[in-house]
A and B are shown apart, each in its own frame.
Chain A
Amino acid sequence: EAQVTQNPRYLITVTGKKLTVTCSQNMNHEYMSWYRQDPGLGLRQIYYSMNVEVTDKGDVPEGYKVSRKEKRNFPLILESPSPNQTSLYFCASSPGTLGQPQHFGDGTRLSIL
Chain B
Amino acid sequence: RKEVEQDPGPFNVPEGATVAFNCTYSNSASQSFFWYRQDCRKEPKLLMSVYSSGNEDGRFTAQLNRASQYISLLIRDSKLSDSATYLCVRSNAGNMLTFGGGTRLMVKP
Complex contact A90–B32 (CB within 8 A): no
B102 touches A33 (CB 8 A): no
Which of chain A's residues 62-113 have a Cβ closer than 8 Å to chain B? 88, 90, 92, 94, 96, 98-107, 109
Q: Are A96 and B44 in contact (CB under 8 A)?
A: no
Chain B residue numbers with a CB within 8 Å of A45 are 96-98
Please indicate the chain A residues that have their CB under 8 angstroms from the CB of B100 in the complex: 42
Grouping DSSP codes into helix (H, G, I), strand (E, B) and loop, the A interface class, with mixed when no group exceeds half, is strand
Q: How far is the CA of A90 from the CA of B97 in the complex (A)?
A: 13
How far apart are the CA atoms of A32 and B31 in the complex, in Å?
18
Q: How far is the CA of A41 from the CA of B43 in the complex (A)?
A: 16
Q: Which residues of B contact A58 (CB under 8 A)?
A: 96
A11 on interface, CB distance cutoff 8 Å:
no
- Write out, one digit per residue, whether chain A residues 3-33 have a CB within 8 A of any chain B CB (1) or not (0): 0000000000000000000000000000101
**A104 and B95 contact, Cβ closer than 8 Å, known pairs A43-B87, A98-B32, A99-B32:** no
Given A90-B44, A104-B43, A98 and B96 contact (CB-CB distance below 8 Å): no
Interface residues of A (CB under 8 A from B): 31, 33, 35, 40-45, 48, 50, 58, 88, 90, 92, 94, 96, 98-107, 109
Cross-chain pairs A/B with CB under 8 angstroms, 24 sampled: A33-B97, A40-B101, A41-B101, A42-B87, A42-B100, A43-B87, A45-B98, A48-B96, A50-B95, A58-B96, A90-B43, A94-B95, A99-B49, A100-B95, A101-B34, A101-B46, A104-B43, A104-B45, A106-B42, A106-B43, A107-B41, A107-B42, A107-B43, A109-B41
